[in-house]
Amino acid sequence: MTLEELEAWLADWDLPLGPFKTIEDVFASMEARADALGPQEAGALAGLAAQFARNRHPRTNVLSIFLQKYAERHPDAFARSLLRELGPEGPPLLLDLLGSTGVRSAVSQAAKILDVQSATADLLIAWAGALGDLGGAEARAYLNELHARPDLDEEVKSEIRIGLERLESGRG
């Protein structure tokens, strides 16, 4: 998996679609790629995700959608790789993807790496979203801890509330 290969895929999947492709075609193509890539690609993909996020690559959103599908197929290998790339400041994309793996054991490891106290609103939103996705008692405790913090951005509060609701409803 090289940067050039990945960029070619993303260009193909990105909008506009042109007259002869549907958005369902795009998702089917992403899913076929994610199926074809084995867990051995997890390290390279996590590294590229971090690079895209830090460089604010214009196709980061498309990459995120693709890697969410990859995360569902190879959760353990990808979670390990994402945690290796994760730093105190994120980037938030890695937390989004970590949530998609559904690997609950990643919660405590991520919590140790992140600097939640001085985190940006973006990072807190991603962290709250990931906790809601990953679920479990530990995730609930971290969400409650976040919820108790004063002076949080409204969007952060909203994401915490959604995360807690997901845990309550058993969807997280």
Partner 1 sequence: MADHTHSTRVAPSSSDAARLPTRAGMRALPRSAPPAGVADQQGTLSEALNQGPPVQSIAQLQRTLNQSPRVARVAKAAALLQRRPRATSQSVVQRVWVDAGRQGFRWHTLLDGLQWYFDPATGAFHYHIVDDLAVPIALWTQIEANEGRRLSEQQLADLGFQRIAVAPEEARVVEERSDEVPAAGMVSKSVSERIAENIRSGIPPFKPELGLGGCSWFIWKGHGVPYTSIDKVKGGGEPKNIEVDATVRLPEYPLIITTAFLAARHAMYMQDAGFRADAERRWRTHNAVAVDAELGRRQRDNLAFYMRGLAEHQMWVSIGHMVAAHPSRVGVVILTGSEFSKKEGDGRFLVVADASRIEVLSMKATKKGPGKK
List of residues contacting partner 1 (CB under 8 A): 11-12, 15-29, 32, 61-62, 64-65, 68, 96, 99, 125-126, 128-129, 132, 155, 159, 162-163, 165-166, 169, 171
Tell the smallest beta-carbon distance from residue 171 to partner 1 (Å): 6
- Shortest CB 28 distance to partner 1, Å: 6
Of 90 and 99, CB closest to partner 1: 99
Q: How far is the CB of 102 from partner 1 (least distance, A)?
A: 13
Long-range contacts at 37-43 (CB < 8 A, ≥ 24 apart): 37/1, 37/70, 37/74, 38/74, 39/74, 39/76, 39/77, 39/78, 40/77, 41/1, 42/70, 42/74, 42/77, 42/78, 42/80, 42/81, 43/81, 43/84
